[in-house]
Structure formats: structure tokens, C-alpha cells
Amino acid sequence: MKLGELELFSINDGTFRLDGGSMFGIVPKSLWSKIDPSDERNRILLSMRPLLIRTGSRNILVDTGLGQGRDRDEKFKDLYDINCGNLLSELDALGAPAEKIDTVILTHLHFDHSGGVVRTGSSGTLLPAFPNARYVVQRGEWEDAHAANELTKASYLTEELDVIEAAGQLELIEGDTGVAPGVRTDVTGGHTRTHQIVVVESGGGTCVYWADLIPTAAHVNMAYIMSYDLYPLDTLAQKRIWLDRATKGDWISCFEHDPRVSFARLKRGKKRINVEKLD
């Protein structure tokens, strides 16, 4: 996907499944199942789609998927029906191998977004997957991951996250931040306290990487808000603000968890926002 002078690549890094009721919150199954049919365990299929932003001289990666090639607990793999791709191989194929990634932006630190920050070395120890990158994280998200409670602790793999801090590659930011020319993060909260989205601008065009503010194209519906969101009313308020901007500005939307739609434009109709798939 070309955006002015930039190139954007939505990388399919595999799939997993989550409970459909949790993904759509208060919306009845009789409605959401028409959009996303569930399996026998009431789980719907989701993708993990990190975004590569290539500027010519820089390679910026947004989120890292779950991470490939490491042993995960069998109960964990069964619970989420994990089917990991190979992000590092996909980046190689795009001419952006791990050592050429200079920035990794993490929208938040849940395992399906940050599990790929490390890789397993030849001795079995964990190493930063992107040895020359700075890992950009909201300070509040880092603090919350390391002070997780009974409700949130299952979402974080803090021992893996701590590897990037020990390597001196962690960069904590606070609030909306310009990360590179044309690339910025904006804090939305909602899903987590300091969840952030990524906005990319070049050549008069704009692309927004929604992360878990709007995880799939179906979630452009205002009422479709995940039960996983810790602050659902904040999610609602932020969706109203950002979807208004995206539709009025004819922005490109990039969905992180939709197995069928990666890039799209959103058009406001009389009763709903319509999704026009671009890929």
C-alpha cells in the first residue's frame, strides 16, 4: 500500500481464536454470529497483523504478533487455537530483515501484540527479536503490565517484555508522540488505560492503525465493543471521535485482527459506516 512517499505492509502473522461473546460485548450472539460465525467452543477466528512502515531510509514495525518458534504452554495454545505465522521470515521477504528494523511501536502489551518482541537464541535464552530497534511503549502501559491484577495478568508476558528493557532498547513515552516524520502515536485508552493507535501521514493521505480500539472491520459499529476493554465507555467516546475523523478525511484504515480485511476506507451511510475493502 502506497501512501505518499511511504510504503505500508499489513503482515499476516497467523491466527488465533477468542470467545465471540467477549469480542462483541453486550451484542447478542444472534447478531454478531451473522458476521463472524463461531466454532463449537464459541470462538471466532482472528488474525495478527503487524504493520510495516517503510520510508526508504527507515523501517518501522507496529506491533509484533505473538511470536513464532517458541514453546508455549499446551493449555495456552489449545485455549486460543494458536496458529502462528513467521513474522521474521515475512519481513525478510519484504526486504526489511530484523536487523534493519529501527523502531518497534507497541500499541499496548497484550501477548497477541507484543509476544514477538523477543526470539529464542541458540543457547535457548531470550533475545530481542529486533536487535537494532528502539521499542516504543506508553509508560502507563508498561507500568500496568508490571502491576497486573487478577483481571489483567493473563494478558501479559512480562518476563519476555523485560528482555527488551534489560537490553537497553526500551523507550517509554507519555501521551501523543511523534515517532518519526509522518508517524505518530495517539493515546485512546479504552482497551487499556493508555492504549495507543498509530497515525501515518504522507502526500496528503492518512492511514490509521486501529489496534484494539477497532480490532476488526465489524467493530466500526459503535455498539460493538469488546468485553476485554477495561474502560468501555472511553472506547465508545474515542470511536466516535476517531471514526468521524477517518470518514471525513477519507483515511485508510488498517485492522489488526480482521482475517478478511487489512486495509479499507470507511464511508458513512445513512444508518451505518460502510467498509470498502482495499486489498
**What are the pLDDT digits (tens) for 245-254?**
999 999 999 9
Rg, Å, the chain Cα set: 18
- The angle at the Cα of 216, spanning 235 to 239, to the nearest 5 degrees, equals 25
Report the CATH number that the domain containing residue 6 is assigned in CATH: 3.60.15.10
CA separation for the pair 162, 126 (Å, rounded):
10
Average pLDDT score over the chain: 95
Distance CA 129, CA 208 (A): 25
Structural domain range at position 77: 2-277
Total count of domains within the chain = 1
244: CB partners within 8 A, 6+ apart = none
Beta-carbon count within 10 A of 96 CB: 22
52-70 pLDDT, tens digit each: 999 988 999 999 999 865 5
> Which is nearest to 128 in space by CA: 106, 90, 156, 161?
161
Question: For the whole model, what pTM was predicted?
Answer: 0.96
- Cα–Cα distance, 130 to 61 (Å, whole number): 10
